[in-house]
Structure formats: structure tokens, C-alpha cells
Amino acid sequence: MAVTLLEDWCKGMDLDPRKALLIVGIPVECTEAEIKETVKAGLQPLCTYRVLGRMFRREDNAKAVLIEFADTVNYAMIPSQILGKGGAWEVVVKPRNPDDEFISRLNYFLKDEGWRMVDVARTLGYSTPTENMEPEGLAQVKPPVLQPLKESMWYRKLKVFSGSTFPGPGEENFEDWLEQVTEMMQIWQVSEVEKRRRLLESLHGSALSIMRVLQANNDSMTVEQCLDALKEIFGNKEEWRTSQFKFLQTFQKSGEKISVFLLRLEPLLQRAVQHSSMSMHSTDMIRLKHILARASMATTLRGKLELLDQRGCPPTFLELVKLIRDEEEWETTMAVTNEKERQVGRGHRASGRQVVVEATVPMPQAIVQAGPFSESSTQTFPEGAVPSLKRRRLPLLLR
């Protein structure tokens, strides 16, 4: 094991393993100059270091290099790999427990910001008698007052859940993941926003995709609501054939947007395929074909989706959501534009009628004024009646 090799090597050279790291996976054909150049490019921006020695590891048929730092390893900055000849070279450091790692990261952060631990305590409302002491004196003082601060900010990453039926390396099944998350959410004394961030940090794959879409539709979702949604999708143990039947019998409701229908359909699809051996590509294809068969949509959108179906390139859940929403926004924009054009057209027609009316209005007035000479006319009008303008318009236009 590489960590064991690092510890043994440091013991043999009387080195503090917290100030050293090991780089393994270096091809045998790499020269000393190539190794130094690669290490320089990958580590020099961090801090001062020196190469102490090299050796050959029989178990991976590659070289290993021991590096010593002038200061303790900054876990927040050390990369897990550096790019070198033949691919990525693995960087191995002595693992630290979560509390020490957190304190180390906090110290480096405060140092970069020009702050001290007592400054943080004072900002959070903690009173400490060591505020005016110099750093040398502070190092000799035990910090009992700061212990509640450390406990309240204690943090450990959650286990990983991807929504896969067969969890991969480093992943957990839904029940074990949910148990840990539920316990940690009760312990953490942090804001709801921070809890949601940590929850998303533990999700991968389809579980993360679904949660992002749900939060995009409701950015005020609480952690409890997020967990309830995941339970609804991944925690239901109903029989597989029943899940399939429910999915196949799901249709778009009258007046329902396709994007809303898609969000309602996805939990049913995930439950239907949860206990099957189908790949992600197969799930995407099933989703696409179901939308084409069960949803009513504009010709343009249907043409795009049918083209993807014919080419055998189904979009992922997030890609399909984005494509459908873009089309819905475009349709809404075009509808508003067409409505404005119709209103403008009605305005032009109304203006044209007004011009014609204004041009023909003087005709009845002229007839009325000629009233005393109308006795010879055989046509008479009742008192207060307006004569027809259609009969007089043609002579007026002919003039």
C-alpha cells in the first residue's frame, strides 16, 4: 500500500510524514530530468519542497518519488494526481482524521485572509481572554473556550449515492445512505442552505440530476423536502412489474406543459428501471420514446426529438428538460409577438376606416345644407336620420 510505503520511508529517514508526500505510478523509462520537470510543474506553486529519493515498486512496475515540504501538507491545495509522462501520477499523503483536516484547512484559510482563530471566535460572539496576546503566547494557551466553536463547525463528508441499482466503488445503497444523511442532518448546527449544499455534494448520477431539476423548479426546497422526494423515487419497494405498468400508463394531462409532464414522469421511470439491468443509454431511449408517444407537442419540437430517436442518440434527462423548455420559451415568445402584430394590424385597419369615414362625413352635411333646394328631389329623409354613405362614397372617390 502506498500510504504504508510513505510512512515506512519517512521513519527510515526520520521525517515527519505530515511534511512529506509520495508520487507513485511514474513510468520506469522516465529520466530524472523528466521527473523533476513534472514535479516542478505540479507542486512548485504550493510551497517550497525538495526531492529526497526515488525507488522502484515491483507491485505496480513503476517508480515512486519521495517529496519533503518545508511546511506541513496543505490538504486543501495538494492535488490527488499530477499529469506526467504516460498519464496521471498519483499523489499520496498521510491521511488525517476529519477534525485535524478541518482545522488544517481552517488555519490555512485564516492565514491567507490575515485572520486569527480568536478573530473568528470574536466574530461569532465567543469571548476569550487571549484576544490581545501575541501569537507566541497564544500557542502556549489551551483553547477550552474555542472547543464549542470546533464542535459546532465539525463536518464530515456524507457517503455517496448515485441512484444506481448496483452501487459502484465508493457508493452506498439508498437505505444506508439515507440513514447516515438523516443522522448527520440532525447533528449539524449549520444553515439550511449549507445543509442543502452538503446534501448535493453526496449525490451523483441520476440522483443528482433529478435533485438539480427539482431545486430549479423550487429553489426554496428544504433538506427534508429533498429527502422526501428521493424517498419517493428511490425508496419505494413496490413490485417491478407494477412500476412498469404505472410508467407505461402515464399520459400527458389536458393543458399540461411537456416539461411538467416530463418531471412527473421521471420518478415513475426511475422506479420502473431501478431493479433492471438496463444501461443509462437504454433508460434515456425509453424516456424519449415515451414522450414522443404520450405527449402532444409542436411540430418543430417533435421533429427534433424524432431525429434524435432515428439516430439512436437519446438526450439525457437534463438535456431533454433543457431542450423542451427552450422550445416552450420560444413558442411563448412567438405567441406574444404574433399577438402584438395582430393588435398593430387591427390598429392600422381601424385607422384606415377612420380616414374613409372622415372623408365621407361632409357629404351628409352638404345635403343638409342644401335642404332648401331639396324640394325638387323625390328622396326624403326622416327627421334626425342619417342618409346612407355607401351610395355617396363612389362619386366622392371618382372625383
Q: Within the chain, what is the greatest distance between any pair of CA atoms?
A: 136
The pLDDT of residue 262 is 92
Listing from the earlier edge strand, what are the strands of the sheet with 87-93? 49-57, 62-69, 20-26, 87-93, 81-84
- Which residues neighbour 84 within 8 Å (Cβ) at sequence distance 6 or greater? 26, 30, 34, 35, 38, 42
Domains of the chain (ranges plus CATH)?
2-95 (3.30.70.330), 99-130+143-152 (no CATH), 240-347 (no CATH)
pTM of the complete model: 0.38
* Helix ranges, the chain (H): 2-12, 32-43, 98-113, 117-123, 135-139, 147-152, 174-187, 192-201, 205-217, 223-234, 240-248, 258-273, 280-294, 299-311, 317-360, 362-369, 390-398
The pLDDT of residue 272 is 82
The pLDDT of residue 320 is 94
The pLDDT of residue 126 is 56
Q: What is the pLDDT along the chain (399 residues), one digit of tens a residue?
A: 677 888 888 888 888 888 888 898 899 888 888 888 888 887 766 667 888 888 888 888 889 988 888 777 776 677 888 888 888 888 888 876 555 556 666 776 777 667 777 766 666 655 544 444 444 444 444 444 444 444 444 556 788 998 887 788 888 888 889 888 888 888 877 888 888 888 898 998 888 888 888 888 888 888 888 888 888 888 765 566 787 888 889 999 999 999 999 999 988 888 788 766 677 788 899 999 999 999 999 999 999 999 999 999 999 999 999 999 999 999 889 988 888 888 887 766 655 555 544 544 444 443 334 343 333 334 444 444 444 444 334 333 333
**Sign of the CA dihedral with 120 first, then 125, 126, and 131 last:** positive
The pLDDT of residue 308 is 94
Query: Position 257: which residue type?
Result: K
pLDDT digits 0-9 by tens, 220-263: 888 888 888 888 888 765 566 787 888 889 999 999 999 999 99
Nearest of 192, 110, 200 to residue 149 by alpha carbon: 110
The pLDDT of residue 48 is 78
What residue has cell string 421521471? 266
Whole-number Å distance between alpha carbons of 307 and 111: 56
